Amino acid sequence: MATNLVQPLDQSLAQLYCPMCAANGTPDVPLVREMHIVKCAFGHQYSSVSEAVARGAKMVPLPLNEQPPITSIKWPVWVHPKVKELLESRYRGRLIATLDSVLGSLADGNVLILTGKDVEKLKKRGLSNGSQIVAAFDAMDNADKERQEMQSKLERYESIFREAGIGG
């Protein structure tokens, strides 16, 4: 279920802080888009967002005031404080929506949980979500089917050759 941010992101803000201002000791001056360039209130200009990033611009953190869907209830749960801290920083501004979707999957029982080393191995093979894993197995099935078709074709030819008195 989608949640809402109280403040919609201002499209003119580049969501970056001016790196030149930061170098001068004022790290929180926002950059604003103006046509194709971005600039700060003190006249520093960058030809693009990527130039500002290349010059060390830091991201403006997303707002923390995510609002729950009106159909949801609040439920206190037991969790290690470090886990809470990591979740809050990793899913900043979308924690309620993320937990809602994870808990929903756990509740309907149709869920596979992969962790640690297994996830690492899958990611090394370029698989980072369920649909990629399913696609990989489908490709394997297809390869297997093709191999079987080849094999039976080969056997057919062999028997034709045998009947014709050629080869084995």
Per CB under 5 A, residues contacting Zn ion are 18, 20-21, 40, 42, 44
> Is the CB of 17 or the CB of 96 nearer to Zn ion?
17
56: CB partners within 8 A, 6+ apart: 19, 22, 23
> Is the CB of 21 or the CB of 96 nearer to Zn ion?
21
List, as one string, the DSSP characters of 111-131.
-----HHHHHHHHHTT--SHH
The least distance separating Zn ion from the CB of residue 94, rounded to whole angstroms, comes to 29
Beta bridge partners of 37: 34
The least distance separating Zn ion from the CB of residue 23, rounded to whole angstroms, comes to 9
What does the alpha-carbon distance between residue 102 and residue 58 come to, in Å, rounded to a whole number? 30
> Is the CB of 40 or the CB of 96 nearer to Zn ion?
40
Packing angle between helix 81-90 and helix 95-108, nearest 10 degrees? Answer: 110
The least distance separating Zn ion from the CB of residue 18, rounded to whole angstroms, comes to 3
* Contact present, 59 and 15 (Cβ < 8 Å): yes
The least distance separating Zn ion from the CB of residue 58, rounded to whole angstroms, comes to 12
Query: Left if phi > 0, otherwise alpha if psi is -120 to 50, otherwise beta: which for 25?
Result: left
> Is the CB of 48 or the CB of 105 nearer to Zn ion?
48
The least distance separating Zn ion from the CB of residue 5, rounded to whole angstroms, comes to 26
Say whether 109 sits in a helix, a strand or coil: coil
> Is the CB of 3 or the CB of 45 nearer to Zn ion?
45
